[in-house]
Structure 1
Amino acid sequence: MVPFRSRVRCGASSLNMLKIAGAVVVLAGAAVFSQQVQAQAFPSHPIRMVVAYAPGGATDIVGRMLAQEMSADLGQTVVLENRAGGGTLVGTDSVRRSPADGYTLLFGTNAFVITPLLHDKPTYDPVKDFQPVSLTTVQSLGILVTPKLNLRTVQDLIAYAKANPGKVNFASSGNGSAQHLAGEAFRTAAKIEMVHVPYKGTGPAMTDLLAGRVDVMFSSLVGNTEHVNEGRLNLVATTGAKRNPATPNVPTVAESGLPGYEAGTWQAVLAPAGTPAPVVERLNAAIAKAAKSPRIVETLAAQGMEVRTSSPDALRDMLKKDSGEYQVLLKHTKTTLQ
């Protein structure tokens, strides 16, 4: 009888396991169904898209254009919110800590990858703590110089900096920004001394450059081509591998005596990690449609910026690649938060 009782116990155990397995399947199915329902209802109220810079810069300008086009497609308002500070850390971390429901997004730049690399203590992981949604734009930068220095070429700038060591400064939208790294890479390649002056966004930095309170800025041309055309700033070079289509008569830095130099910037939309896949897909589709708007494409192309979207997975791969490359660049240029 003992073997029989043993078999009965095993049978009961198997039944319990089947019940548990069934419950797991039901829960998994419920979770999938819940996500599908959530996606179908998304969005049911306005979406907040955070820009980790002060108003007035290229990221702010492009973000507002994108938000307007996305609003039309999604049927809900996409509200842009400027949250500057901490070299983009304040705004970025606010999104990381937000609910993963698609209603809080980050409109980020290269600084999204660079900022964590500049801190000794852990801040956030750009790959693990966020869900990529889509790339939106790419662009080379322009080297903009105050007319007060009367410098017209890269060689003029290098010669002036060597003749006045430590007196030339360059502004950026903040520590860890693509502008900051472009300037550091230029300083290293040209073997000159330049003092970095970080701001809380391109807007306030550009205001001081126009006023002649700072000397140089490596910046997007979006919002700045008029300043160049009207003589308020001198554009001495662009930083891409090829000449910028919007300024075909302006040479690249590489053409101007620093072969191999190249720097650029990108903008992308990200969400908190754990955002449901159907919601991410809906947002990605809205961005793809917005990116085809003639208003966005033509306006940005005239200022040297290319509209370029991607899948979430392609953006994740790009973030991983950039993180590795920026680690090498930061070490080479000895760039820190100081």
Structure 2
Amino acid sequence: MKLLRFRVRRTTLALVISTVAAAHALPAAAQGNTYPDKPIRMSLPYGAGGIGDLTARVVTQKVSEILGQPIVIENRPGAGGVPSFQAGMQAPADGYTLVTGGNGTAITQTLIKDLPYSIINDFTQVATMSKFALVVVVRADSPYKSLGELVAYGKANPGKLSLGTANMGSSQHLGAELFKSVAGIDAQVIPYKMSPALLTGIRSGDIDAAFEFVPPMLASIKGGTVRALAIADDKRSPALSDVPTSKESGLDGYVVTSWNGVSARAGTPPEIVEKLNKAFVAAVNSPEVAQKLRDMNSEPYALTAPQARELMVSDVAKWKTVIQRANLPIN
């Protein structure tokens, strides 16, 4: 009789434990099944009208159709994207507040001292949307006909090459610093405030080469006022299919791309992250969205959530090394 009572109590206890566990599991599962049942906010660290803003609007319009809920864009430019990510930090981890960021976010992680968040620890990466590569250009009558010739001159004449970039601490600036390291040369890196000033500098011959992303340089390259030596990517740009990659030019390992991704606050349920990722992948890969991105001279770029996280982690480490090697000031 005592044994029977013990078995009954043990069975009852097991039933209670399983019931409690199921009760705790139900809300998460239910949330994943019903998500989203209200509008989603997306915080952008860019001003309205820029390529980052336009990319987000093009992609999220399709994502909204897929998910059946509107995605409201909130522009929060300035301060290295800090206000945008702080807004994401202050929101619940429920998938209803997303933040965009990419290679610039990875750079900010090292360049800004005492950053009030960690893009790795405080956020989870959800998806990517687009990317475009850095291009190395020279003036139309430059004596350098290839990237190899530019590197050869730099090695033979330490400190004499001048490399122009846009904005101190930008991806372009760090791309030039990375070029020096990978090529094994000593050269002067001269940051200009804006892309138009950089373009003027290369056309006038004030600098030997310019490092800028494809979109701002494309019209000048197509018009013949500057000459593209190489694309800093692992494959050629569809917009400049006749321009070789850095690897094809003998500079293996030199890859600098600007990419746009989506993050959510850490702790967002995995089933919601997966649902969001599938919607973004489907949107980016849809023919109409892909074409709109190409029309903006960027490349559709859809990764899984784990791949997006791996990209962010690797870029944080990559640019931290470049920043420390170049001894750039930390703000």
Residue type at the aligned position of 1:194? V
What secondary structure, in the 3-state scheme, does the structure 2 residue paired with 1:316 have?
helix
Q: Does 1:193 align with 2:205?
A: no
Residue type at the aligned position of 1:94? A
Contact map agreement 1:171 1:197 (CA 8 A) in 2: yes
Count of residues paired in the alignment: 315
Q: Does 1:337 align with 2:326?
A: no
Identify the match of residue 241 of structure 2 among 229, 248, 254. 248
Structure 1 residues 57-85: Cα deviation after superposition (integer angstroms, max 9, x where no partner): 43223212111111111222222222222
Identify if the C-alpha distance between structure 1 residues 301 and 93 changes in structure 2 by more than 3 Å, giving closer, same or farther.
Answer: same
Contact map agreement 1:130 1:273 (CA 8 A) in 2: yes
Q: Does 1:75 align with 2:68?
A: yes
Q: Distance in 1 between matches of 2:143 and 2:67?
A: 49
Q: Does 1:108 align with 2:101?
A: yes
Q: Distance in 1 between matches of 2:312 and 2:281?
A: 19
Structure 1 residues 167-224: Cα deviation after superposition (integer angstroms, max 9, x where no partner): 864214x73x4333213223554422123356xxxxxx44655677997864443476
Contact map agreement 1:246 1:302 (CA 8 A) in 2: no
Identify if the C-alpha distance between structure 1 residues 197 and 45 changes in structure 2 by more than 3 Å, giving closer, same or farther.
Answer: farther
Instruction: Within 5 Å, give how 1:134-153 maps onto structure 2.
Output: 134-143=127-136
Percent identical residues: 28
Q: Does 1:44 align with 2:37?
A: yes
Q: Distance in 2 between matches of 1:79 and 1:210?
A: 35
Residue type at the aligned position of 2:91? S
Residue type at the aligned position of 1:191? D
Structure 1 residues 241-283: Cα deviation after superposition (integer angstroms, max 9, x where no partner): 4432321222444566756533223322110111122322221
RMSD: 4.0
Structure 1 residues 90-138: Cα deviation after superposition (integer angstroms, max 9, x where no partner): 3223222222121211121112222122234353222221122123334
Q: Distance in 1 between matches of 2:159 and 2:318?
A: 32
Q: Distance in 2 between matches of 1:28 and 1:58?
A: 47
Q: Does 1:92 align with 2:85?
A: yes
Q: Distance in 2 between matches of 1:45 and 1:150?
A: 59
Q: Distance in 2 between matches of 1:53 and 1:179?
A: 17
Residue type at the aligned position of 2:233? G
Identify if the C-alpha distance between structure 1 residues 233 and 107 changes in structure 2 by more than 3 Å, giving closer, same or farther.
Answer: farther
Identify if the C-alpha distance between structure 1 residues 65 and 146 changes in structure 2 by more than 3 Å, giving closer, same or farther.
Answer: farther
* Corresponding residue number in structure 2 for 1:5: none
Contact map agreement 1:223 1:303 (CA 8 A) in 2: no
Instruction: Within 5 Å, give how 1:293-312 maps onto structure 2.
Output: 293-301=286-294, 305-312=298-305
Instruction: Within 5 Å, give how 1:129-208 maps onto structure 2.
Output: 129-143=122-136, 169-172=164-167, 175=169, 177-188=170-181, 189=183, 190-197=185-192, 205-206=194-195
Q: Distance in 1 between matches of 2:50 and 2:139?
A: 18
Residue type at the aligned position of 2:121? K
* Corresponding residue number in structure 2 for 1:4: none
| TM-score, length-scaled by structure 1 | 0.74
Q: Does 1:125 align with 2:118?
A: yes
Moved more, 99-108 or 328-337: 328-337
Residue type at the aligned position of 1:86? A
Mark the runs of 5 or more structure 2 residues left unpaired by the alignment: 1-5
Residue type at the aligned position of 1:287? F
Q: Distance in 1 between matches of 2:29 and 2:313?
A: 29
What secondary structure, in the 3-state scheme, does the structure 2 residue paired with 1:76 have?
coil
